[in-house]
Structures are given as C-alpha cells and as structure tokens.
C-alpha cells in the first residue's frame, strides 16, 4: 500500500472560522476526513498533519524521505516566503503536489510567487477541499497505486 503524507501550514487549523468568504466553512477535521475517505478508496495510507511552525514543517519534510511514497503540501503563508521549505522539498525524494484552497494567483500580488511550485510535480489551486481529493488522485496516478 502506498503511503502519502499531507502537510498543512500555518493558520489552516482555523479553517471553518478563518475568512470563510475565502476559504469556505470546511474545518481542518472535515478536510482530514475527506482525505481519509478518498485515500481509502484509492488504497492509499495517509498521514495528515498541520503546524503553525516553519521549522516543524521542514522537519516533517525531512523525516518523510524514505518513509512515504508521495507528499501533498499546502504550506499556506510559507508558500510565499520560505526558501528553507523549498530547499527541504527539493530533496524530499518523492512526488510533491502543491495544493491551495483558494487561488493565490488571483489574490494579492504578494501571494503570486510560490517557492513550493518550483519543486512541485503538480499544482492544484482554487478548488477548495476538492483540490485535496484531486491531489490524492493525481498522486495515485503518479505513484502507480491501485485505483
């Protein structure tokens, strides 16, 4: 069974109450449940995590090497600022799908650049929670998991 790690960055723990007009009303827990269901149907095992700390995110990326077969990352605000996260992702040694609930490229100009995009195999943005499901499908395809 293929294993996928799903990493969520800062402020995503507040989904549901955080700017619902931008991010919707789905909570992080709802999102996690959705991912578990999708992964189950694709015979994929997932590990779903969230942190507000850049260093922790980087440590999780480093630790994933050799353990997981693929990664989905919504680095939230660190997407647009973190060279260190970019460097860690570059040597993760597995396919990486970048996901965003909103479409940062259609928002403020400071969100238009992504350090994650430069090292991601695929980017999904602006599709809300369904983007996470699509990311799992895309990874299943890339990893050659049973679908």
Q: Are strands 122-125 and 96-100 parallel, antiparallel or unpaired?
A: parallel
Give one DSSP letter per residue of 76-118, joined into a string. GGGGGT-HHHHHHHHTS-S-EEEEESS-GGGS-GGGS--TTGG
Shortest reach from residue 88's CB to ligand DQA, in Å: 17
Burial 13-38 (b: 16+ CB within 10 A, else e): bebeeeeeeebbebbbeebbebbeeb
- 3 vs 14 by CB, closer to ligand DQA: 14
Length of the chain: 147
If one asks whether residue 74 binds ligand DQA (CB under 6 A), the answer comes out as: yes
13 binds ligand DQA (CB under 6 A): no
CB 36, min distance to ligand DQA, A: 19
By CB under 6 A, tell whether 111 contacts ligand DQA. Answer: yes
Q: Does residue 105 touch ligand DQA according to CB under 6 A?
A: no
Rounded distance between C-alpha atoms, residue 136 and residue 1, angstroms: 14
Site for ligand DQA in 75-104 (CB under 6 A): 76-77, 79, 100-102, 104
Q: Residues 117-136: x/- map of binding to ligand DQA (CB under 6 A)?
A: --------------------
Query: Are the CB atoms for 114 and 73 separated by under 8 Å?
Result: no
Separation between Cα atoms, residue 133 and residue 31, nearest integer Å: 9
- Residues with catalytic roles: 23, 100
Interface region with ligand DQA, contact rule CB under 6 A, candidates 30-38, 44-52, 55-63, 73-81: 73-81
Binding site for ligand DQA (CB under 6 A): 11, 74, 76-77, 79, 100-102, 104, 111
């Amino acid at each position: 069974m293929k294993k996928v790690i799903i990493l969520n960055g800062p402020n995503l723990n507040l989904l549901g109450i955080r700017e619902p007009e931008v991010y919707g009303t789905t909570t992080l827990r709802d999102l996690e449940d959705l991912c578990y269901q999708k992964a189950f149907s694709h015979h994929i095992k997932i590990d779903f995590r969230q942190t507000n700390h850049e260093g922790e995110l980087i440590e999780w990326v480093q630790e994933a090497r050799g353990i997981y077969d693929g990664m989905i990352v919504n680095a939230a605000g660190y997407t647009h600022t973190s060279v260190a996260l970019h460097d860690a992702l570059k040597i993760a040694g597995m396919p990486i799908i970048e996901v965003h609930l909103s479409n940062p490229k259609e928002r403020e100009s400071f969100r238009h650049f992504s350090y994650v995009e430069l090292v991601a195999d695929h980017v999904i943005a602006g599709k809300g929670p369904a983007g996470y499901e699509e990311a799992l499908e895309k990874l299943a395809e890339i990893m050659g998991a049973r679908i």
